[in-house]
């Protein structure tokens, strides 16, 4: 008879509530160096329909609003039926009662603006999913990246530009600071995704915008993760999949973040650190990559020397994962 798989005691689990709270606190307190400290970073989500772009937004909202229920700020759907029809910019805003709740439940204190409201230092741009290979130009992705396309621009499959939603003179604050390609773990090697990813990698390099991959639906692809969300950090098959994606797209493995999002797996409940830490880690990576690029471009270009400092590592998850992989 096969031996039962031992369940590790809680102190040996990779994802703890304390680590999640620390990471959430770091993200809420993130600021670019002067004179850009008032900027809000723009992260563009891009990927095939049904990959989990909207689920990323809702899961992040759930993590920032610890109410014990899933957020539905944008509609999620099962692929084709629920296409995002408008280019939408999602701000993560905390009202005074949300701020109190975040402090009580997560120990995270945020610096509220006038009116007692707090806005996260990033916003997320949600786009329509790819519908076939080679559609990035039809999607007007260059306009999205440069900041010309504004919130509310209708999205269609004919690449029509709606003048009233185009910003004729976007500034560096309006442009996309980091792109997040959202790819389901099971589909990373399809012809459509390979073609679009190759084009996306080229465009990101040409526009000097960092690109990170969110590898979603890891639970649907790997049974150990479906059974126990904590296994996303230790499952060998997940690690191999990350390495395969890295090799396929010539992207560093550290810029590929495997995720299980809140959505279809009934085993995961709002507030689970094993869901929220990898997701917050994705946001942290995107913020650091954006900052790095802005130091090389805008700050250097303006002749402003930013104060020399090393951003403190919020690598509780990354370091543990690296240690686990070595063992
Ligand atoms: N099990 C599981 N389901 C997911 C995950 N991410 C997204 N989904 C589900 O996949 C479907 C499509 O997701 P959605 O976010 O609408 O995709 P979008 O078209 O990229 O915005 C929804 O039913 C989600 O609940 C995940 O990581 N795991
Ligand atoms: Mg969507």
Give the closest residue (by CA) to ligand 1 atom 6: 52
Q: Is residue 15 part of a domain?
A: no
Q: Is residue 158 part of a domain?
A: yes
Q: Is residue 33 part of a domain?
A: no
Kindly give the distance from the C-alpha atom of residue 244 to the centroid of ligand 1, in angstroms, as a whole number: 22
Domain containing 271 — which CATH number? 3.40.50.300
- One-letter-per-residue 3-state SS of the chain: CCCCCCCCCHHHCCCCHHHHHHHHHHHHCCCCCCCCCCCCEEEEEECECCCCHHHHHHHHHHHHCCCCCCCCCCCCCCCCCCCCCECEEEEEEECHHHHHHHHHHHCCCCCCCHHHCEEEEEEEEECCCECCCCCCCCCCHHHHHHCCECCCCECCCCCCCCHHHECCCCCCCCCCCEEEEEEEHHHCCCHHHHHHHHHHHHHHHHHCCCEEEEEECHHHHCHHHHHCHHHHHCCHHHHHHHHHHHHHHCCCHHHEEECCCCCCCCCCCCCCHHHHHHHHHHHHHHHHHHHHHHHHHHHHHCCCCCCCCCCCCCCHHHHHHHHHHHC
Verdict on whether the full-model pTM lies above 0.75: yes
Q: Is residue 24 part of a domain?
A: no
Q: Is residue 316 part of a domain?
A: no
Give the closest residue (by CA) to ligand 1 atom 1: 264
Residue 51 has pLDDT above 50, yes or no: yes
Q: How does pLDDT run across 64-87, given as a tens digit for each residue?
A: 999 999 999 988 876 555 567 888
Q: How does pLDDT run across 89-125, given as a tens digit for each residue?
A: 999 999 999 999 999 999 999 999 989 999 999 999 9
Q: How does pLDDT run across 222-233, given as a tens digit for each residue?
A: 999 999 999 999
The per-residue pLDDT for 6 is 54
Domain count, the chain: 1
Q: Is residue 261 part of a domain?
A: yes
Average pLDDT for 21-40: 95
Q: Is residue 14 part of a domain?
A: no
Q: Which domain holds residue 216?
A: 42-300
Q: Is residue 68 part of a domain?
A: yes
Average pLDDT for 5-18: 68
Residues with C-beta less than 6 Å from any ligand 1 atom: 49-55, 76-78, 82, 129, 182, 216-217, 219-220, 259-261, 263-265
The per-residue pLDDT for 301 is 77
């Amino acid at each position: 008879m096969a031996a039962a798989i031992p369940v590790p005691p809680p102190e040996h689990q990779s994802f703890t509530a304390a680590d999640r709270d620390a990471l959430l606190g770091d993200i809420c307190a993130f600021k670019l160096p002067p004179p850009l400290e008032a900027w809000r970073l723009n992260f563009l989500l891009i990927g095939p329909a049904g990959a989990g772009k909207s689920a990323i937004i809702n899961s992040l909202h759930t993590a920032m609003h610890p109410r014990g229920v899933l957020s539905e700020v944008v509609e999620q759907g099962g692929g084709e039926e629920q296409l995002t029809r408008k280019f939408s910019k999602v701000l993560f805003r905390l009202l005074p009662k949300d701020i109190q709740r975040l402090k009580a439940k997560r120990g995270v204190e945020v610096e509220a603006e006038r009116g007692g409201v707090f806005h996260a230092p990033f916003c997320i741009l949600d786009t329509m999913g790819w519908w076939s290979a080679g559609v990035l130009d039809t999607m007007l992705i260059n306009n999205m990246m440069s900041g010309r396309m504004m919130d509310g621009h209708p999205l269609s499959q004919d690449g029509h530009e709606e003048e009233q939603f185009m910003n004729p003179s976007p500034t560096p604050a309006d442009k996309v600071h980091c792109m997040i390609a959202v790819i389901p773990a099971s589909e990373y090697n399809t012809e459509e995704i390979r073609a679009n990813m190759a084009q996306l990698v080229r465009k990101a390099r040409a526009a000097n915008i960092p690109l990170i991959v969110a590898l979603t639906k890891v639970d649907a692809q790997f049974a150990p993760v479906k059974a126990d969300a904590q296994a996303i950090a230790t499952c060998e098959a997940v690690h191999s999949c990350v390495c395969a994606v890295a090799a396929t797209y010539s992207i560093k493995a550290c810029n590929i973040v495997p995720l299980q999002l809140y959505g279809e797996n009934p085993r995961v409940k709002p507030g689970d650190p094993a869901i929220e830490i990898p997701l917050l880690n994705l946001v942290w990576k995107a913020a650091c990559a954006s900052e790095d690029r802005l130091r090389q471009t805008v700050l250097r270009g303006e002749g402003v020397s930013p104060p020399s400092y090393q951003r403190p590592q919020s690598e509780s998850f990354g370091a543990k994962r690296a240690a686990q992989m070595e063992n």
